[in-house]
């Protein structure tokens, strides 16, 4: 895809298709906007937006094609609240833009932890191999921090691999590579403030989240350019939610009382002996219904929508190793109350590496992006739209 929007530049015409295949749209990097009368598929994570017969992974690119945005009153009302939180996929910046997809079906067919770990490792390898085949001649740029993403370095990659990591995890990622005898270069990732890019980041985000949570953009764009955009960025998104007992407390509901209750239940469930775990079945069923809803209402926005923003700005495909078709099918079939009571990631790492794997004992989170404070603001959004010649209505 050659179109890299700059203020004042007109958008190219959309690519025409008879049908937009939502899965194929996230298989390789091609046209950013597709015109089609219909689509197939219902994504659970990767963003696909539609308006006026046009489809994109970026709401900004759809608005650029239309030339205008009518501010969604529901979103404006949410942003006026003291703590807007993460908006739902349905609460788009323009109410006419629809995000396709919905929460996954959680079948609970697989209840054996060892079998689940082995199946997930096989599926991850199959999905990454398929992605490399679909994107020949590219370099895999793996963003690394905790165990979810560190396990990606254990995959049997065919194309070149570079690990990207930011402080304070950088030293730990380098130690992981050294201790596990991996022939992978680790480069530092920095959250660079690039004033000329601010309007683009604000325009792409469309007020969905607090932008202090969406970091690294400028440096990732530079890295993509260094690779002549012949690269695929990889992330280990959302895996801790179903590879640990985090599913018991993960929620998309904004009620503080509900969030507190779920965290308390998760902590209490850890103390229940193995023989008595079946007594938790009714409460676990409630937690799973809420978790399924949160996969879509929270995860698909806070993490999934970010994939579309990065893809649009870097001009490279951006993938999660836990959301390939085979991998998603495996984890959506897990009976989490039986499978994910502890941390499954070392078992998955052993399956990927064929041996025991060393992991850091800590996973220190990088700080929020200070220079992005206040960017989630309708006035800032209007200013950003004006820079790109997009009319704001409302």
| Tokens coding 254 | 């904004």
| Tokens coding 287 | 């937690």
| Tokens coding 15 | 């690519």
| Tokens coding 93 | 């910046």
Q: Is residue 45 part of a domain?
A: yes
Residue (of 381, 390, 301, 319) closest to 128 by Cα position: 319
Do residues 165 and 238 both lie within one domain?
A: yes
Do residues 163 and 221 both lie within one domain?
A: yes
Q: Is residue 266 part of a domain?
A: no
Q: Is residue 34 part of a domain?
A: yes
The model's pLDDT over 50-79, given as tens digits with 9 standing for 90+, comes to 999 999 999 999 999 999 999 999 999 999
* Measured distance CA(276)–CA(273) in Å, rounded: 5
Do residues 82 and 130 both lie within one domain?
A: no
Q: Is residue 328 part of a domain?
A: yes
Do residues 193 and 340 both lie within one domain?
A: yes
Instruction: Classify strands 54-56 and 49-51 as parallel, antiparallel or unpaired.
Output: antiparallel
- Tell me how many domains the chain contains: 2
Do residues 98 and 172 both lie within one domain?
A: no
Do residues 280 and 133 both lie within one domain?
A: yes
Do residues 123 and 172 both lie within one domain?
A: yes
Q: Is residue 6 part of a domain?
A: no
Do residues 321 and 353 both lie within one domain?
A: yes
Q: Is residue 338 part of a domain?
A: yes
Instruction: Classify strands 20-21 and 39-40 as parallel, antiparallel or unpaired.
Output: parallel
Q: Is residue 354 part of a domain?
A: yes
The model's pLDDT over 270-300, given as tens digits with 9 standing for 90+, comes to 999 999 999 999 999 999 999 999 999 999 9
Do residues 122 and 74 both lie within one domain?
A: no
Do residues 142 and 224 both lie within one domain?
A: yes
Q: Is residue 9 part of a domain?
A: no
Per-residue pLDDT of the chain (394 residues; tens, 9 = 90+): 556 676 667 888 999 999 999 999 999 998 999 999 999 999 999 999 999 999 999 999 999 999 999 999 999 999 999 999 999 999 999 999 999 999 999 999 999 999 999 999 999 999 999 999 999 999 999 999 999 999 999 999 999 999 999 999 999 999 999 999 999 999 999 999 998 999 999 999 999 999 998 999 999 999 999 999 999 999 999 999 999 999 999 999 999 999 999 999 999 999 999 999 999 999 999 999 999 999 999 999 999 999 999 999 999 999 999 999 999 999 999 999 999 999 999 999 999 999 999 999 999 989 999 999 999 999 999 999 999 999 999 8
Any idea what the CATH number is for the domain that residue 162 is in? Answer: 3.40.50.620
Check if the beta carbon of residue 167 is closer than 8 Å to that of residue 187: no
Do residues 100 and 122 both lie within one domain?
A: no
Residue (of 255, 235, 32) closest to 150 by Cα position: 235
* Measured distance CA(324)–CA(132) in Å, rounded: 12
Do residues 99 and 178 both lie within one domain?
A: no
ω into residue 176 within 30 of 0, thus cis?
no
- Domain span at residue 81? 15-104+379-393
């Amino acid at each position: 895809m050659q179109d890299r929007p700059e203020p004042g530049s007109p958008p190219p015409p959309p690519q025409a298709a008879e049908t937009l295949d939502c899965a194929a749209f996230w298989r390789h990097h091609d046209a950013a906007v597709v015109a089609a009368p219909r689509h197939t598929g219902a994504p659970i994570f990767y963003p696909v937006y539609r308006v006026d017969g046009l489809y994109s992974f970026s709401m900004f690119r759809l608005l650029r094609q239309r030339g205008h945005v009518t501010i969604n009153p529901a979103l404006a009302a949410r942003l006026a609240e003291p703590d807007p939180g993460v908006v739902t996929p349905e609460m788009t910046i323009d109410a006419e833009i629809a995000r396709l997809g919905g929460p996954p079906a959680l079948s609970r067919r697989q209840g054996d932890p060892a079998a689940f770990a082995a199946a997930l490792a096989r599926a991850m390898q199959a999905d990454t191999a398929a992605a490399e085949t679909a994107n020949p001649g590219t370099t895999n740029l793996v963003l690394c921090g905790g165990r979810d993403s560190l396990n990606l370095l254990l995959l049997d990659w065919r194309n070149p691999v570079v690990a990207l990591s930011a402080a304070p995890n950088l030293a730990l990622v380098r130690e992981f590579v050294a201790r596990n005898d991996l022939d992978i270069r680790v480069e530092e990732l920095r959250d660079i403030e690039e004033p000329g890019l601010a309007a683009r980041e604000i325009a792409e985000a469309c007020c969905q989240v607090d932008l202090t949570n969406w970091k690294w953009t400028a440096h990732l764009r530079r890295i993509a350019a260094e690779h002549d955009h012949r690269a695929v960025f990889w992330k280990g998104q959302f895996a801790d939610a179903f590879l640990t007992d985090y599913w018991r407390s993960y929620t998309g509901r904004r009620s503080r009382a509900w969030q507190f209750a779920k965290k308390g239940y998760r902590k209490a469930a850890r103390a229940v002996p193995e023989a008595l775990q079946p007594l938790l079945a009714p409460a676990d069923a409630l937690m799973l219904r809420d978790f399924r809803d949160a996969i879509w209402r929270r995860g698909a926005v806070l993490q999934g929508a970010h994939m579309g923003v990065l893809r649009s700005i870097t001009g490279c495909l951006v993938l999660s190793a836990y959301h390939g078709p085979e991998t998603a099918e495996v984890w959506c079939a897990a009976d989490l109350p039986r499978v994910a009571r502890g941390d499954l990631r070392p078992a998955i790492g052993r399956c990927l590496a064929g041996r025991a794997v060393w992991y850091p004992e800590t996973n220190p989170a990088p700080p929020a992006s200070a220079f992005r404070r206040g960017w989630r603001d309708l006035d800032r959004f209007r200013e950003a739209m004006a820079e790109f010649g997009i009319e704001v209505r409302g």
